[in-house]
Structure 1
Amino acid sequence: MNHHNTILQAMTETGMIPVFNHKDIEVSKSVLASAYKAGVRVFEFTNREENAFEVFKALKIYSEQFEGLYLGIGTIFSAADAQRFIFAGADFIVSPALIPEVAHFCNMKGMLWVPGCATVSEVFQAKSFGAKLVKAFPGNLLGAGFIKAVKSIMPDVRMMPTGGVEPTKENLSTWFESGVHCVGMGSQLFDKNVIAAKKFDELESKIKVALSVISDIRA
């Protein structure tokens, strides 16, 4: 369980978890390296492409060189998928929904799992299953008001909005002022054109800026 606290602590410290998927292993490695160099310590790869498992396995081996980096897998809908990716070395499991079989399986394996919730009932249920962190998804539809409302009745619940979170001072301020534990950031951070052009230095700078905006907001 201490392992969970270490990952949760790393999530708090950086405040932002990149959410990324790509079918090319080399591109994925370069993106992971850029994120790490920018200061990211918790990274979520998502199980969306046909070959996501192969890419994740390669990425996990590659990630061993980065000290203090936790690599998790997202878009997990079944205990069977959770099992495959845990076997491949995933540090945590993220789902877009609250899925009891995934919750129970991860609890049994002592694995940190993060369910996607969009209602107070789901957050309560996640909490009763033992979730240490809840993903508010889709973030842009729920908004910071949802986080505030949940925190007002369940103040101990850690929330991570994902989906439509933007790397701007205005958007991030709204989220952090509502009491989030951290934010997940995908398409807003990973410009497809920048990645297609392999401008990894540009990507690194963009991630660095997002992290420093968060750190400024918190100060």
Structure 2
Amino acid sequence: MIQKIKTIQDIVESGVVAVIRAESEEEAINTASACIEGGMKAIEVTLTVPGAADVITSLKKRPEFQDLLIGAGSVLDSETARIAILAGATYIVSPCFDKETAKLCNRYQIPYMAGCMTITEMKTAMEYGVDIVKLFPGNNYSPSMINSVKGPMPQVNIMPTGGINIHNAKEWIENGAVAIGIGSDLAKPAKVGDFKEVTRLAKQYVDIVREARA
């Protein structure tokens, strides 16, 4: 199977992406490890993390993480995307759509999940090969937004990120989200060193997705 297609399928199957925002490499690695321990299979290391490329490389080198999906987030341009790919990122996530980033990711057969807010942005992103659209910021919309978009564009795959929490995650999945991105909920306990709480939350999100799909 083509690796790009497999990565997309694995992200959809996982159903939840842990968005890692941290103030240090150590905090990022510990947060990612805690999420993985909680059952999450997809990790997005945002490039706002100091030494983010090194964090990605470090995670990729660990034998116990070889089957995980480790991508880069907050990617704003093609130059940064290439750095992340060379560091080992297997998918790229942006808060916005960027044509040059889309072209680069297509060139190297790396999934590109671009942030979009409107149907016009989604259509443009799909025309440039974006297979999963990141609805961002998700807290600007209700979960019913997905059904509204899928009326005229049933082929679009949407992953809301930003403002997704324990209370609304199930509703987003039930309304057709192919996956959800979770960031702030996981970052809060991590910032005070409570990585056991990160693991507990990660497990809770994994269970919510599984139950919503069932």
For residues 140-183 of structure 1, give each alpha carbon's deviation from its aligned partner in whole angstroms, at most 9, with x where no partner exists: 10322321122112212111000000122xx1232112211000
Q: 2 CA distance for matches of 1:196 and 1:135? A: 25
Deviation at 1:52, TM superposition (A): 2.6
Deviation at 1:34, TM superposition (A): 1.5
Confirm or deny: 8 A CA contact 1:44 1:74 kept in the other structure. yes
Q: 2 CA distance for matches of 1:160 and 1:138? A: 11
Query: Given the alignment, which residue of 205, 208, 218 partners 2:203?
Result: 208
- Pairs within 5 Å for 1:104-143: 104-143=103-142
Confirm or deny: 8 A CA contact 1:138 1:162 kept in the other structure. yes
Q: SS in structure 2 opposite 1:45?
A: strand
Matched residue count: 214
Aligned to 1:16: 16
- Pairs within 5 Å for 1:67-146: 67-146=66-145
Q: SS in structure 2 opposite 1:188?
A: helix
Confirm or deny: 8 A CA contact 2:8 2:111 kept in the other structure. no
Q: 1 CA distance for matches of 2:149 and 2:155? A: 10
Percent identity of paired positions between Structure 1 and Structure 2: 31
Aligned to 2:175: 178
Deviation at 1:36, TM superposition (A): 1.2
Aligned to 1:60: 60
Aligned to 1:195: 190
Distance 1:196 1:129, change over 3 A: closer
Confirm or deny: 8 A CA contact 1:23 1:52 kept in the other structure. no
Unaligned 5+ segments in structure 1 are none
Unaligned 5+ segments in structure 2 are none
Aligned to 1:217: 212
TM-score (normalizing by structure 2):
0.93
- Paired letter, 2:59: L
Deviation at 1:50, TM superposition (A): 4.4
Confirm or deny: 8 A CA contact 2:56 2:70 kept in the other structure. no
Aligned to 1:32: 32
Q: 1 CA distance for matches of 2:213 and 2:159? A: 16
Aligned to 1:41: 41
Q: SS in structure 2 opposite 1:123?
A: helix
Q: 1 CA distance for matches of 2:56 and 2:24? A: 10
Q: SS in structure 2 opposite 1:65?
A: helix
Q: 2 CA distance for matches of 1:97 and 1:89? A: 22
Q: SS in structure 2 opposite 1:76?
A: coil
TM-score (normalizing by structure 1):
0.91
Q: 1 CA distance for matches of 2:86 and 2:73? A: 15
Q: 2 CA distance for matches of 1:126 and 1:145? A: 21
Q: 2 CA distance for matches of 1:52 and 1:12? A: 24
- Paired letter, 1:204: T
Deviation at 1:75, TM superposition (A): 0.7
Q: SS in structure 2 opposite 1:143?
A: coil
